[in-house]
Amino acid sequence: MKDFFNIELLKSQFTSDEILGANFGLEREGLRVHSDGRLSLTEHPEIFGDKLKNPNITTDFSESQVEMITPTFNTTKKAHDFLLYLTDYVNKYIPDDEYIWNQSIPCILPPSNEIPIAQYANDEKSVQSYKYRQALAKKYGTKKQLISGIHYNFSFKESTIRKLYQINNSNKSYKQFKNELYLKIVRNYLRYKWVIIYITGCSIASHESFTCDCIKLMNTKHLEEYYTTEGVSFRNASCGYKNLIKLFPRYDSLENFISDVNSYIDEGKLSEAKELYTQIRMKSKNPNNLLESLSEDGISYLEIRTVDINSFDICGLSQEDMNFLHLFIIFLLIFDESDYDKWQEESLLNEELVAQFGQIEHLELIKDGKKVSINQWLNIIYDNMKSINDKLNLTFDNELKTFKNRIDNPKNLYSSKLLNLVKGEGYINTQVQIAKNNKKESLERINSGYYDDKEYEIGFKGDL
């Protein structure tokens, strides 16, 4: 299986449409804030309905933290369009003096005990949801719970995986083959997640009301704000939202992964499986009992959790970056794996190096125990991705051009662009203005009749 997924196989047996066949879904978190950049402490708007029953608009940790969830679509455009619709809808129905904070690092925060944990009904599931959040607040701190991000959900079309399985002609079950396919992507993603941090990182500043462990890593202070001239993503840095103990479950088989996570729970390192905060998650058919469902049903799809909210896109994620991630996943499936035994520890080190120092020109990372310049490694990855795109006649020329431009001209990174704005206008002022502009854009799009000929079914009470 190690060398089964390769360019030659895909080129000889599959059309480009078959290779590109996939399912996409998005989850996006965003804080509700006032025009002065302070966290709104009001309840989740009633018009969005029951948090546990609305499949598209709910809350994450806090009453103040809206979460927007798209259904699954077969193109990135459809998923992005639906997220835009949800964003516009939320902007319309939150109070007039509230805005969605388009940034991963929080706004101006009140004392921790004033941050409202999401409230639910009185049934057993609701009570458990609230208790779980209380436990997280106690363990990790309430303010850190307000770090927000994008989750990118992906799976290959079932017909493509079945065709691969038939070509493989092994004695393994289809479920085992499918698990091994996704596990290879997971392992390689963990090795190369730093690339996604580098190109999508957009969290380089904070207000003094945020957690001190992040503030102390930022090298510049201006009035009540702090920012870094070196990093790209403090959401993914050592001070970001991570487990208190470094955990490295085995990914060589699904059985070993499940066994390790169960051990962490038995040892008290995790309260339950979903408390394992990894950059990519294997998701199963039944989200309410993850490990049991993974064991019985296998891996259904992958959830990439690395992506910062992009302050320069109203949805928090551009469709171009979605497309890049699609090609990146194909690259991860095809690219040979290293047999270096400390790869997980090394991948965590590279993750935090890029997050905290990604804007440093001559940054060095560690590859199989040896130092390598980030620019050299990025160009190797670019060359491999371009080769895959060209040989398989895929459609990612523009995305590759943008990737190369970011490698050669780091000033085009989101983190660098945001740094320039923060230097000129300040962190809070910059993000407030972006949030106001986004709300204005949403209302203008709605009022223009943009959605009049579009049919969307989502779980809300209002109309556009």
Cα(35)–Cα(258) distance, rounded to whole angstroms? 46
Cα gap 278→266, rounded to integer Å: 19
DSSP class of residue 39?
A: B
Contact of 32 with 98, CB cutoff 8 Å: yes
d(CA 52, CA 58): 7
Residue 263 in domain: no
Angle formed by the axes of helices 397-408 and 174-200, to 10°? 40
- The domain that holds 341 is classified in CATH as 3.30.590.20
Report the DSSP pairing between strands 301-304 and 280-283: antiparallel
Structure tokens at 152: 């990118």
Residue 261 belongs to a domain: no
Alpha-carbon span 311 to 201, nearest angstrom: 10
- Range 123-129 contact pairs with CB under 8 angstroms and sequence separation of 24 or more: 125/52, 126/52, 129/52
pLDDT recorded at residue 462: 47
The rounded distance, in Å, linking the Cα atoms of 176 and 387 is: 29
CB contact set of 74 (below 8 Å; sequence gap of 6+)? 21, 22, 23, 24, 157
Let me know the angle formed at the C-alpha of 231 by 198 and 367, rounded to the nearest 5 degrees: 50
In a domain, 269, yes or no: no
In a domain, 40, yes or no: yes
Question: Quick check: pTM over 0.85?
Answer: yes
- Listed residue (435, 146, 425, 134) closest to 313, CA to CA: 435
Q: Which residues contact 99 (CB under 8 A, 6 or more apart)?
A: 32, 33, 34, 35, 91, 432, 435, 436, 438, 439
Q: What is the extent of the structural domain holding 292?
A: 7-242+277-447
Along the 464 residues of the chain, how does pLDDT read in single tens digits? 556 788 999 999 999 999 999 999 999 999 999 999 999 999 999 999 888 889 999 999 999 999 999 999 999 999 999 999 999 999 999 999 999 999 999 999 999 999 999 888 777 777 888 888 998 889 999 999 999 999 999 999 999 999 999 998 889 999 999 999 999 999 999 999 999 999 999 999 999 999 989 999 999 999 999 999 999 999 999 999 899 999 999 999 999 999 999 999 999 999 999 999 999 999 999 988 999 999 999 999 999 999 999 999 999 999 999 999 999 999 999 999 999 999 999 999 999 999 999 999 999 999 999 999 999 999 999 999 999 999 999 999 999 999 999 999 999 999 999 999 999 999 999 999 999 999 999 999 999 999 988 777 655 554 44
Residue 150 belongs to a domain:
yes
Does residue 272 form part of some domain?
A: no
Residue 194's CB is within 10 A of a number of other CB atoms, namely: 29
Q: Give domain status of residue 264, yes or no.
A: no
Tell me whether residue 429 is in a domain: yes
Overall number of domains in the chain: 1
Beta pairing, strands 225-227 & 220-222: antiparallel
Tokens 């120092």 sit on residue? 357
